Chain A
Amino acid sequence: MFRHNIILAFRNFKRNKTSFLINLIGLSTGLTCAILIYLWVSDEINVDKFHDNNDRLYQVLQNRQFPQKIATWEITPTLLVNAIKEDLPEVEAATNISSREENPRGAFSFGEKNIIAEGIYAGENFFEVFTFPIKESENQSFLKDKNSIAISESFAQKLFSTTKNVIGKTIEWTRGQNKKSFRIAAIFETPPSNSTLQFDFVWNMQLLIDADEYAGKWNGDYAKTFLVLKPDANFEKFNNRFASFMNTKTDKRKKSQLFIQQFSDKYLNGKYENGKITGGRISYVWLFSIIAIFILLIACINFMNLSTAQASTKMKEIGVKKTIGADRQSLVQQFLGESILMSFLSLSVALLLVLAFLPTFNDITNKVLKFNWSFNFVITLFLITLFTGLVSGSYSAFYLSKFKPFQVLNGKQVMSFGDQWIRKGLVVFQFGLSIIFIVGVLVVQQQMEFIQTKNLGYQRDNVLNFKRPNTNKSETFLIEVKNITGVMNAGRMWGNLLSGRGTQSGYSWRGQEDDKKYSFKSPIIGYDVIETMDMKVLVGRTPSREHQEDFNKILINESARKMMQLENPVGMNIGYSDTLREIIGVVNDFNYGSMHHKIEPLIFRVTTRGNNILVKIKAGEEQTAISKLEEVFQKFHPSFPFEYSFVDDDYQALYEAESRVATLSKYFSGLAIVISCLGLFGLAMFTSERRKKEIGIRKVLGSSVFEIVKMLTSDFTKTVFAAILISLPISFFIAKKWLENFAYNITLTWWLFFVPAILVLIIAWLTIGLQTIKAARVNPVQSLKDE
């Protein structure tokens, strides 16, 4: 029976080459999308899951109450970890690492060789809590020694060109004016790409505590804290008890509540609103999974539609088979077998396509996805394909096999009203999805363009950004940079304008204790930054060399002025800890950080140093200016590489996730439309085939080619219109939801919906037009004589 069905299936493919090709192209494209997305999704959901303790490994997070809102931070005091270990019996192990801002960076040298690396400060149990396998180490407690360092294999490879015999060697570290020697005490496997913790080396946490007076206090947040719960510990109970844990240790953190989140869950669910987890990247995982399923469904629908179109010929076969003893079950088996065979054939084509497109897909998604013929992968492929086959064949299998043989053989069976509806419904579904995809693409593109052209409150064009390894001769360096031809201005600051980092509270402008609760964004800038970035000063002045300004002077932005309700802020002294700080100016609001966030009240602190250099270059002179800049840089920092970026590029990078979505959705919606059109093409072909006789009769009766084309087209047009009507409100809703991710977004205008609708209609017309014109032009003598 099985062999028999296979033979029948293959002969059927051979006989109906067009529908075979349409199905093969449709299903293999659909499967290709599904496999690519599957690879991406499975990579995403496995991030950070490789730690042995994964199930019980949690990160401590802090909810901080401000008058404006609750902010959720992942940074905590360094003291927390020991308190947890001592006081909480449910905890099996705990460790901490430095927060990202505090991470140690700098240059390491061994002999003549220099490399720049970024590491972490870590608590003693770091390598027991996390699974970063140690390849070699001096002793068990290497992290206890403040003079030792653990390095990654790639660090060793870069500095020594080998990973062998490096234990015990001493290397020099330099950053700014700081210098120190470290003995290599351990070498660990380089963190894998699916780890969110990426670091080249590990230092003892005590070094951070020694270096910063607040780092070892309860009111300073310098570390990320992690803990492993005992297997029998109850997560809910623990979390409830844990909330006020810090308050039992200190009275300085009354506004802070703690909670724990599974560490590997944080990658996908890392967005918090008002102290609650509200999703994060998980929404893209869902989005693409749904897209994959829909694209597959569209391909399956093609298959179903083509089989209904061929139903009349199929039905004869069914009738005959029933009269020679086939029961319904064997027919169901035959049809499902045929569609499953078809989808496995498509799978082989799809696998080739995936292999061909994987490098491009990796570029777009910025991943290193590979085929990994694991049991899970093979099973998933098998299941996806089986599912596709079952869905595709379900119509023929369960609907067509139902007919009574004699009705079929005598040609009495006509398509019922309901069947027509099913078929049209399927086409509506396909085109509805295509329209939603196109609207999605347009909206994403528009928003991306809006982001690129929106006035941020500063000019980011032709501004170069680079970091100095130290701040030696800060002023001389800046003067030399400014003297380069093509350089229009240059300034220095700590950090940069795009990070959005740095929040302070504790300012008091009315002399009220209440003031101190309000939080401000608090970047630190040096001279000429405001000028270089072309920010608008509303009142007052910018920091200047004549005034020898230091940390005591501040500028505020317009939002801060409004929040503080100050009429004439310039010249005012406002309190911060024990000092008074003079407001010297008010700048116009600008986007500090990405556009995902609203502009917040901001205080510019002023510094005379700063390792981050911003250089405005005259348009057209970038090349020469950059090479001159490099010369200057090399003069001050020999043996350090000159690594720069344009602020504009960095700005684009903030919207990396969105622009990846934009690119991907473009491809996927393109494919969805192509597959839908393939189906429509097939459907049009079979419809005109089936109505050949009717067309002939109409022509004999005097109908013109145009009228026949109109007749054949109007049916499809109505279907596409129905798709438009149904899909537009849905796409409006989805677009609105997505735009809510941005604090500043485009308004949804009519043409964003009108264009896709018209586009789909035109594409549909073009697809069926050719077929119907061909059918309408056939000489009626030909079509009426066969029978």
Chain B
Amino acid sequence: MIQLRNLERYYKSGFQKSWVLKGINLDVKQGEFITIMGDSGAGKSTLLQIIGMLDAANKGEYNFFDEEVHRFNEKKRTELYKHYIGFVFQAYHLIDDLTVYENIETPLIYRGIKSKERKPMVAELLDRFNIVAKKDLFPDQLSGGQQQLVGLARAIIGKPKLLLADEPTGNLHTKQGEEIMQLFKELHNEGMTIIQVTHSEKNAQYGDRIVHLEDGYVREDKNVNELLERN
């Protein structure tokens, strides 16, 4: 599904380049649940953004379902992104002025789906995540966990092929975090490809493969089972 070849991302300051990512090679198959780990500044989030097409690499190849994303301009990337990718953030990033219902509905509006068709789709997710009662509340009236539920619902309403999560439980306390991770697992079992960035070893266990980044390189890329065995 995804092939990254010799990916580089750097920032120029003056004549100096400072690399965030260097020589990244990564293959993701459909249906995988990958966790990207590493210390702060290792380049995790940047990698996620590049995969998520919200940022572009300076060098290297990025193929997504055999499409050469690295050759796309921003407009074309947005188009591809809109249809295949959902994003979940650590800080939820809900739109403050919209209700729960409207927040979940918004991606469908951008996809140009008609109002009649949107209703059942939103209703289904509200039901699945048990937040029907909260549908008319605004984000600031919700707890963190509830906000992240909305964030997740919003990310998957468009039935994306790839779900990207940047420290989805980072702002949550343990119990709420577990709830969210359980949902990720369910989605994974239903066949969704998921890539998450996290610091938490425990959360990493929900997935089936862990990629360790260090200073912009892939240091280790192993199956969870292999790692478990090693320990």
Q: Is A738 an interface residue (CB 8 A)?
A: no
B102 adjacent to chain A (CB < 8 Å)? yes
Chain A residues 365 to 405 lying within 8 A of chain B, measured CB to CB, are 404-405
Q: How far is the CB of B155 from chain A (nearest CB, A)?
A: 8
Contacting residue for A320 out of B49, B78, B79, B95, CB 8 A: B95
CB-CB under 8 A from A321, the residues of chain B are 95, 106, 110
- Name the residue in A11, A320, A326 with the highest tally of chain B Cβ atoms < 10 Å from its Cβ: A320
B contact residues around A12 at 8 Å (CB): 97
**What sequence of 0s and 1s flags, for each residue 170-188 of chain B, a beta carbon within 8 Å of any chain A beta carbon?**
0000000000000000000
- C-alpha gap A7/B138 in the complex (Å): 13
With known contacts A317-B95, A320-B93, A327–B75 Cβ distance under 8 A: yes
Residue contact A4 to B87, C-beta cutoff 8 Å: no
Q: Does A325 contact B (CB under 8 A)?
A: yes
How many angstroms between the C-alpha atoms of A330 and B55 in the bound complex?
Answer: 20
Q: Which residues of A contact B49 (CB under 8 A)?
A: 406
Within 30-80 of B, Cβ neighbours of A (below 8 Å) are at 45, 49, 52, 54-55, 75, 78-79
Please report the C-alpha to C-alpha distance between residue A11 and residue B99 in the assembled complex, in whole angstroms: 11
Instruction: Return the chain A residue nearest B98 by Cβ.
Output: A8
Cβ-based interface call for B82 (8 A): yes
Residue of A whose beta carbon sits closest to that of B158? A325
Complex interface: chain A residues within 8 A of B82 (CB) = 325, 327
- Interface membership of chain B positions 96-133, coded 1 if the CB is closer than 8 angstroms to chain A and 0 otherwise: 11100010001101110000000000000000000000
From residue A20, how far is it (CB to closest CB) to chain B in Å?
13
Contacts of A15 in B (CB 8 A): 96-97
Residues of A within 8 A of B98 (CB): 7-8, 11
Given contact pairs A4-B109, A325-B81, A406-B54, A11 touches B93 in the complex (Cβ within 8 A):
no
Q: Which residues of B contact A325 (CB under 8 A)?
A: 78, 81-82, 107, 110-111, 158
User: Smallest distance from the beta carbon of B11 to chain A beta carbons, Å?
Assistant: 11
Specify which chain B residues have a CB less than 8 angstroms from the CB of A405 in the assembled complex: 54
* Known contacts A324-B107, A324-B110, A325-B107; A409/B81 CB under 8 A: no
- Give residues of chain A (317-341) contacting chain B, Cβ–Cβ below 8 Å: 317, 319-327, 330
Question: Chain A residues near B109 (CB, 8 Å)?
Answer: 1, 4
Please give the number of chain B residues whose Cβ is less than 8 angstroms from any Cβ of chain A in the complex.
28
User: By the criterion CB–CB under 8 Å, are A323 and B54 in contact?
Assistant: yes
Residues of A within 8 A of B91 (CB): 409
A316 within 8 A of B: yes
* A8 to chain B: closest residue by CB: B97
Residues of chain A in range 400-427 having any CB-CB distance to chain B below 8 Å:
404-406, 409
B55 touching A406 by the CB < 8 A rule?
yes
Q: In the complex, which residue of chain A has the Cβ closest to the Cβ of B81?
A: A325
Q: Tell me which residues across on chain B come within 8 A of A404, comparing CB atoms.
A: 54-55
B106 touches A324 (CB 8 A): yes
Least CB separation from A1: chain B residue = B109
Closest residue of chain A to B104 (Cβ to Cβ) is A324
Q: Would A409 and B106 count as touching, CB distance under 8 A?
A: no
Q: How many angstroms between the C-alpha atoms of A325 and B106 in the bound complex?
A: 9
A175–B20 Cα distance when bound, in Å, is: 102
Q: Are B93 and A316 neighbours in the complex by a CB distance under 8 Å? A: yes
Kindly state the separation between the CA atoms of A326 and B78 in the bound complex, as whole angstroms: 8
A404 to B96, CA, bound (A): 20
Q: Give A4 to B104 CA distance when docked, in angstroms.
A: 13
A316 CA to B75 CA, complexed, in Å? 20
B178 → chain A closest CB, angstroms:
25
A322 neighbours in B (Cβ, 8 Å) = 54, 78
- The verdict on B154 contacting chain A, using a C-beta distance below 8 Å, is yes
CB closest chain-A residue, reference B111: A325
Q: Is the CB of B93 within 8 A of A409?
A: yes
> Smallest CB-CB separation from A323: which chain B residue?
B87
Chain A contact residues (Cβ within 8 angstroms of B): what range? 20 to 34
Q: How far is the CB of A342 from chain B (nearest CB, A)?
A: 15
* Residues of chain A lying within 8 A (CB to CB) of residue B79: 327
Per the bound structure, the CA–CA distance linking A184 and B217 in Å amounts to 107
Among the interface residues A1, A330, A405, which one has the most CB atoms of the partner chain B within 10 A? A405
B79 and chain A: residue at smallest CB distance: A327
Q: Which residues of A contact B75 (CB under 8 A)?
A: 327
Q: Given A12-B97, A15-B97, A409-B93, do A327 and B110 touch, yes or no (CB 8 Å)?
A: yes
Assembled-state Cα–Cα distance A325/B93 (Å): 14
| From B82, B95, B97, B154, residue with most partner A Cβ within 10 Å | B97
* Complex-state Cα separation, A319 to B93, whole angstroms: 9
The complex places the Cα of A323 from the Cα of B93 at a distance, in Å, of: 10
Question: In the complex, which of the residues A11, A319, A327, A330 contacts B97, with contact meaning CB atoms closer than 8 Å?
Answer: A11
Q: Does B210 contact A (CB under 8 A)?
A: no
| B211 contacts partner chain A, Cβ-Cβ < 8 Å | no
Q: How far is the CB of B81 from chain A (nearest CB, A)?
A: 7
Q: With A and B bound together, what is the CA distance between A1 and B110 in angstroms?
A: 8
Convert A1-38 into 0s and 1s, putting 1 for each residue whose CB lies closer than 8 angstroms to a CB of B: 10010011001100100000000000000000000000
**Least CB distance, B87 to chain A, in whole angstroms:** 5
Nearest-neighbour CB distance to chain A for B25, whole angstroms, equals: 23
Contact of B89 among A7, A8, A330, A409 (CB under 8 A): A409
B94 close to A (CB within 8 Å): yes
The reply to whether A330 and B110 contact each other, CB–CB distance below 8 Å, is yes
Q: How long is the Cα–Cα vector from A409 to B109 in the complex, in angstroms?
A: 22
User: A11-B97, A404-B55 in contact; A4/B102 too (CB < 8 A)?
Assistant: yes
CB within 8 Å for A326 and B110 given contacts A405-B54, A409-B89: yes
A176 and B172 CA atoms in complex are apart in Å by 104
Complex Cα distance, B95 from A319, in Å, reads 10
Task: Please give, as numbers and ranges, the residues of chain A lying within 8 Å of B52 by CB-CB distance.
Answer: 323
* Assembled-state Cα–Cα distance A325/B83 (Å): 8
**In the assembled complex, which residues on chain B have CB atoms less than 8 Å from the CB atom of A320?**
93-95
| A319 to B52 Cα, complex, angstroms | 14
* Cα–Cα distance between A259 and B16 once the two chains are bound (Å): 76
Output the least CB separation between A619 and chain B (Å): 70
* B125 → A minimal CB distance (Å): 14
Given the complex, which residues of B lie within 8 Å of A323, measured CB to CB? 52, 54, 87, 89, 93
Q: Which residues of B contact A11 (CB under 8 A)?
A: 97-98
Chain A residues lying within 8 Å of B102, measured Cβ to Cβ, are 4, 7
Determine the chain B residues whose CB is within 8 A of the CB of A330 once the complex forms: 110
User: Smallest distance from the beta carbon of B216 to chain A beta carbons, Å?
Assistant: 17
CB distance from B168 to the nearest CB of A (A): 14
A 431-475 to B, binary, CB cutoff 8 A, 1 in contact else 0: 000000000000000000000000000000000000000000000
Residue picked from B49, B79, B94, B154, most chain A C-beta under 10 Å: B49
Once the chains are docked, how many angstroms separate the CA of A99 from the CA of B148?
86
User: In the complex, which residues of chain A have a beta carbon less than 8 angstroms from the beta carbon of B106?
Assistant: 4, 321, 324
How many angstroms between the C-alpha atoms of A1 and B82 in the bound complex?
16
Tell me which residues across on chain B come within 8 A of A327, comparing CB atoms: 75, 78-79, 82, 110
A322 to B55, CA, bound (A): 12
Docked complex Cα distance between A325 and B49 (Å)? 14
| B95, B102, B111, B154: residue with the most chain A Cβ atoms closer than 10 Å | B95
A325 to B87, alpha carbons, bound, how many Å? 10
Report the minimal beta-carbon distance from A525 to chain B, rounded to whole angstroms.
79
| Cα A11 to Cα B102 with chains together (Å) | 13
Enumerate chain B residues within 8 angstroms of A7, measured Cβ to Cβ. 98, 102
Shortest A84–chain B CB gap in Å is: 68
Taking the closest CB of chain B, its distance from the CB of A623, in whole angstroms, is 69
Given known contacts A1-B109, A12-B97, A409-B89, A324 and B55 CB-to-CB distance under 8 angstroms: no
Minimum CB distance partner of A405 in chain B: B54
C-alpha gap A156/B52 in the complex (Å)? 85
12 contacts between A and B (CB under 8 A): A8-B95, A15-B97, A316-B93, A317-B96, A321-B110, A323-B87, A325-B81, A325-B82, A325-B158, A330-B110, A406-B54, A409-B93
Give 14 A-B pairs besides A325-B81, A327-B82 with Cβ atoms closer than 8 angstroms: A4-B102, A11-B97, A15-B96, A317-B95, A320-B93, A321-B110, A322-B54, A323-B87, A324-B106, A324-B110, A324-B155, A325-B111, A330-B110, A409-B91
Residues of A within 8 A of B (CB): 1, 4, 7-8, 11-12, 15, 316-317, 319-327, 330, 404-406, 409
Q: Would you list the 4 A-B pairs with minimal beta carbon distance, nearest first? A: A11-B97, A325-B82, A325-B110, A320-B93
